[in-house]
Amino acid sequence: MDIYSLPHAPKNVGSTPSKLLTITGSDWFQNFLLEASTDTESEASELGVPSLEKLAPVAAKYGIEFVDPNDF
């Protein structure tokens, strides 16, 4: 199993908004982010986060699976 197969779930435990910095050397992840932001932009919440229902088909195209963080 490689690092990309491990589930992870960043969580802000503070009382102020946070930001998540993701650094990757993979073109596929950049392409996923570009496509996800383009396809779901009009459906984004007030925080700029698309719903999982809109994001899931794009994620599946890139082999990304969303899991419930309470399951691990």
Q: CA 2, 59, 66, 24: dihedral to nearest 10 degrees?
A: 40
**Residues 12-27: tens digit of each pLDDT:** 889 999 888 878 777 8
Name the residue with higher pLDDT: 23 or 61: 61
* C-alpha span between 31 and 28 (Å, rounded): 5
pLDDT at 28: 86
Residue 49 lies in a domain: yes
Residue 3 lies in a domain: no
The pLDDT-based confidence of 48 (bands split at 50, 70, 90) is low
Residue 51 lies in a domain: yes
7: left (phi over 0), alpha (psi -120 to 50) or beta: beta
Residue 44 lies in a domain: yes
Domain span holding position 40: 27-65
Residue 48 lies in a domain: yes
Residue with tokens 């993979």: 26
For the chain, the domain total comes to 1
Mean pLDDT of the chain: 77
